[in-house]
Amino acid sequence: MPILNALIGPVANIIDKVIPDPDARDRAKLELLKQETDQALRLAESQLSAIVSEAESSDRWTSRARPGFLYVMYIMILFAIPMGVIGAFRPDTAKAIALGMNSYLNGLPESLYALFGTGYLGYTAARQWGKVKGVEK
């Protein structure tokens, strides 16, 4: 997709120089834009099909992995609301809570974060590879 986007401008300039007939030039540019749109649509379809197939999986861990991760992220973001209220009335307490959370998260070994990221990305790649090979639905 990015490669095609990068080529649209230069190819349109070449079309302007090579095709003298304005109608033919416009048709060629329209076809070029159609190709770009078709490619973007195919990319979106493939991304959505991966999400849908994970959601429809009979394996409960597979179908809940992505939503579960997002729920954790939502909870972390929504935790800012009570922290804001605490901060409004007891700034020292809010600062102490934030410092404690930062200390805890910074205390976790870097290798644990790397393991989580590798496992999550590896799982996603393995699922996609299985779908491409036709082993998984």
Q: How many domains does the chain have?
A: 2
Q: Are residues 115 and 97 in the same domain?
A: yes
Enter the tokens of residue 19.
């095709």
Q: Which residue has the tokens 């990068």?
A: 6
Q: What is the C-alpha to C-alpha distance for residues 81 and 66, in angstroms, rounded to an integer?
A: 24
Q: Identify the residue with better confidence: 133 or 36.
A: 36
My answer on whether 64 and 93 are in the same domain is yes
pLDDT tens, position by position, 63-80 = 666 677 778 878 888 888
Query: Is residue 48 domain-shared with residue 86, that is, in the same domain?
Result: no
* pTM for the predicted model, two decimal places: 0.38
Count CB-CB contacts under 10 A for residue 54.
Answer: 20
* Residues 54, 123 contacting (CB under 8 angstroms): no
Residues 13-33 have pLDDT tens digits of 777 767 777 787 778 778 878
Task: Mark whether 36 and 10 lie in a shared domain.
Answer: yes
Q: Does residue 43 sit in the same domain as residue 86?
A: no
| Residue pLDDT, tens place only, 120-137 | 777 677 667 667 776 665
Is 135 strand, coil or helix? Answer: coil
118 plus 85 within the same structural domain? yes
